[in-house]
Amino acid sequence: MEAATTLLDAEAVGDLVLLDPLTEESLLHTLQERFRRSDIYTYIGDVVISVNPYQPLPIYTPEKVQEYNNCNFFAVKPHIYAIADDAYRSLRDRDRDQCILITGESGAGKTEASKLVMSYVAAVCSKGEEVDKVKEQLLQSNPVLEAFGNAKTIRNDNSSRFGKYMDVEFDFKGEPLGGVISNYLLEKSRIVRHTKGERNFHIFYQLLAGGSAQLLQQLKLRQGSQHYGYLNREKSSLPGMDDAANFRAMQDAMAVIGFSPAEVTALLEVTAVVLKLGNVELSSCYQASGMEACSIAEPRELHEICELIKLDPGTLEQALCSRTVKARDETVLTALSVSQGYYCRDALAKNIYSRLFDWLVNRINTSIQVKPGQQRKVMGVLDIYGFEIFQDNGFEQFIINYCNEKLQQIFILMTLKEEQEEYVREGIKWTPVEFFDNGIICDLIENSKCGILAMLDEECLRPGVVNEDTFVTKLNQLFATHKHYESKETQNAKHVTDLSLPQRCFRIHHYAGKVTYNVTGFIEKNNDLLFRDLSQAMWAARHTLLRSLFPEGDPQKVSLKLPPTAGFQFKNSVATLMKNLYSKNPNYIRCIKPNDTKTAMLFTPELVLAQIRYLGLMENVRVRRAGYAFRQLYSPFLQRYKMLGTKTWPRWSGSDRYGGHRTRGASHSPTAAGWRGLSSLVPPLCREGTEVLLSELKLPPEELAYGYTKIFIRSPRTVSPDRGTQRRAGSDAGWEPAPQTPRPAVSPERIEGAPGQCCSPQRLPAAHPHSLQLFDLEKRRQERISELATLIQKMFRGWQCRTQYQLMRKSQIIISAWFRGHAQKNKYKQMKRSALLLQAYARGWKSRRLLRELKVQRHRHLAASTISAYWKGYKVTGPALPRGHVPVSCSVLLSVRCAQGCLSVCPGPPCRAGAAVLSIQGQIGGGEVGEGGMQAHPKESCVMGGMRW
């Protein structure tokens, strides 16, 4: 059972570096077995091999995004998300600009791979309204550019017919700020001509299928591709591709990017003009001089075009059917033949569409570009046409394959050649691995003095009769002995008979194989000339967008200087691209096409083997197996891993032999300039620190190599705690003893992934082969960082708690003081209210007591006065008068004080309501006398004998 498991793992190993034995057959078999299991991704070290399945697979879900987010590159199954995550983290955490190079044949899945990379980076970036807007604009640029720049070819239903390089720019936090898109060599010849079974650019079919009746009427178009000459007047629909839905998606994408409705309308109007130009028919006629001329056979299409662009039909007809030639001081109007007229029509259509595409790219850049002055990091994604070998290869295939040669050269220089040259520079013993360097092919094409492009430009500029025959003759003379060039003439000179090589053709032995190029049309396409009459006619149009595409048509800015050739422009563009790529850390995705019929999950071994050979995958694996898996400069290595050693932490100042000493926690500097980090130390000091650190980690000496400036570790499995006692192959088949095969060479960036990238023990069982060994240093570093972080957190939390306590204590004192003051104020107020209440009650009690005393005194005084009055009256009047008789003049009144407050004088007995009182009045007029007696008001006074009551 164990043997079966071992065999099963070996057949589906996830990293081709682990193949044992390493042969073309085993490599091919591994790819085929993984493809059969729907494992379309495989590693060669840190290079991702992608085999196109030609069908959707459930491996791009949000759950997969989370699985690969912040993962260890080798700790999960091979996936395109792994390289995207690794590149993004390296950019975000290591401040290193990245580029992702996606290469392969046409139909190998490069465009889809670039979209997957972009979607993953967008998914793992932080969220936010502004960030989401930028991400959406970057992603929505794809459907717009695909509509105008992609087309169906024999090998690919969605083939990029232009090269696209997008620089996505991020801020210091890793959030996208915007981007810049560069386009290279749109295949504009497809506008006027494409082979049977292929299609023109998608936008034409999408517009005709998805445009509303009102829109098509506005653009003067009819639904159906069979009505248009540039679409070969045939119905064309692709299975699985909905042109109408794609057109609506393209319109929505334009709205997201920021296109105004007026801009979209203008864009579609110019697109319709290109489409309708193909329906302009010319007829032959003769001038009075007998010279052949041409004229518009059916003016209806021409008039509709002129209505769209607001141009006089006569101006456009003259530009299409004649040409203005300046000879010295004279201007001659020359009529064109029918063939020349069609050439002018097609040249105008190609130039309009090509310039419209350039305008579209610039307009997108205007929306997504970053404001100048902001500090940013850059991740470039290259999606460019793949290597093409057709039955009939022309100028476009020559340029495309030249670009792919340059990309292959980058791969060779940065992965194979640079790998080996570094060992020589560092003085490391090394067994060279032979590989094919395609620099000789690149020089054959691009040499500025005697390259094929230089000879083509020379022929285009040479006066006199110029045709492709003279061009081929010159190439045969220059490259007669070149081993990567051959033609019919060079074969004849070598007495070689090859019927597959026609007379007007030459053949180049590319890295991907031999390609025969037909030189017919090379000079015309390289010149890419547009007659001045056509430029001036477009300038005369009152259509704002179309007019802006032809600035050279302005009569005030006429230039006699010839424009640069297409080959020259493309060569300069490729040179700029290469310079840009060389300045960034490369990440490679090598796409492989499994079959020529675009059949889902069909693997053709012969086709795949050919791609394995010309992509140089075997050489790449050999270099990785034979080399050191890890290398880095001493200073960064010591700076990164110094916390793993007791002698190098917290800082390394060198031993006595370098004039320094180590003191734990010391603050002195080993240099006069002061401590500024290990990067300022002299190389011997850093090297010594690295040696001390690695010796303390007890790494086997045979696994290490000390170069002049770098440390090399051959096999990181030797530093694993379990010494590689167990491993798991790229599949989930089971466990087996670790074989003694060399380890893959992993770049420093892979090992130096951002902090926090090491996998947890729970995740490691599903890891890539030897992931435990490859990242043990990093794992131990993360564990140490965790310990240090815990210490820092403990100290910080202690300080934070102390600060919080002191702040709370201070606040409590202030609160207590204010509370006590408030409580005392309230207590004082309560005491004051109580005192006032007591005072009020006391005063009331005293007042009532005084009142009672006064009342008693008053009663006594009244009684005395009454008695006195009776007595005095008695003495004056004598005995008592008869009952009920009172003298009028008498001022003595008998009164009874009632409870009601009135005085009543009665002849009879006293009132029952109160005591009897005697009121003395000075006269009788102070009272009232009635039947019942006399009444007097209580407040009236009586004066008698000088007394006042």
Q: Which residue has the tokens 């006594």?
A: 860
**Residue 159 annotated in active site:** yes
Q: Which residue has the tokens 């690695």?
A: 694
Give the containing element (helix H, strand E) for 685. helix 683-696
Q: Which residue has the tokens 């179309």?
A: 546
Which tokens hold the place of 248? Answer: 């609506």
Active-site hit among 159, 322, 354, 635:
159
The torsion angles phi and psi of 632, rounded to 5 degrees, stand at: -165, 155
Alpha carbon distance 192, 197 (integer Å): 15
User: Would you say 716 and 743 are in contact if contact means Cβ atoms under 8 Å apart?
Assistant: yes
Torsion of CA 104, 105, 109, 113, to 10 degrees: 20
Angle, helices 80-94/110-124, rounded to nearest 10 degrees: 50
735-736 and 903-905 strand pairing: unpaired
Active-site hit among 14, 104, 107, 707:
107
Q: Helix or strand or coil: residue 295? A: strand
* Distances in whole angstroms, Cα of residue 504 to Cα of each of 393, 467, 470: 12, 11, 10
**Residue 386 annotated in active site:** yes
Angle, helices 202-210/261-277, rounded to nearest 10 degrees: 110
- Helix, strand and coil content of the chain, in percent to the nearest 5, comes to 50, 15, 35
End-to-end CA, the chain: 139
Alpha carbon distance 502, 21 (integer Å): 43
For residue 591, which of 18, 22, 117 has the smallest C-alpha distance? 117
User: Would you say 312 and 538 are in contact if contact means Cβ atoms under 8 Å apart?
Assistant: no
**Residue 401 annotated in active site:** no
User: Would you say 186 and 351 are in contact if contact means Cβ atoms under 8 Å apart?
Assistant: no
**Residue 156 annotated in active site:** yes
**Residue 518 annotated in active site:** no
User: Would you say 747 and 46 are in contact if contact means Cβ atoms under 8 Å apart?
Assistant: yes
Q: Which residue has the tokens 């039955």?
A: 391
For residue 524, which of 469, 475, 468, 476 has the smallest C-alpha distance? 468
Active-site hit among 11, 388, 703, 752:
388
Angle, helices 532-540/338-368, rounded to nearest 10 degrees: 50
Active-site hit among 14, 174, 341, 386:
386
**Residue 388 annotated in active site:** yes
Helices (H), 583-659: 605-614, 617-626, 634-641
Q: Which residue has the tokens 């209580």?
A: 938
The identity of residue 762, as a single letter, is: Q
Alpha carbon distance 34, 27 (integer Å): 11
The torsion angles phi and psi of 157, rounded to 5 degrees, stand at: -75, -20
- Indicate the burial class of 237 (C-beta count within 10 angstroms; 0-12, 13-18, 19 or more): exposed
Quick one: residue 495, left, alpha or beta (phi over 0 = left, psi -120 to 50 = alpha)? Answer: left
Active-site hit among 156, 393, 731, 747:
156
User: Would you say 9 and 19 are in contact if contact means Cβ atoms under 8 Å apart?
Assistant: no
Alpha carbon distance 767, 22 (integer Å): 22
Report CA 529 to chain centroid distance, whole Å: 40
Angle, helices 243-257/338-368, rounded to nearest 10 degrees: 50
Active-site hit among 160, 225, 587, 620:
160
Please write down the long-range contacts of 437-441, taking CB distance under 8 Å and 24 or more positions apart. 437/412, 438/405, 438/408, 438/409, 438/412, 438/510, 438/511, 439/409, 439/412, 440/484, 441/405, 441/484, 441/508, 441/509, 441/510, 441/511
Active-site hit among 30, 106, 367, 904:
106
Active-site hit among 90, 111, 142, 648:
111
Catalytic residue numbers read: 106-107, 111, 156, 159-160, 386, 388
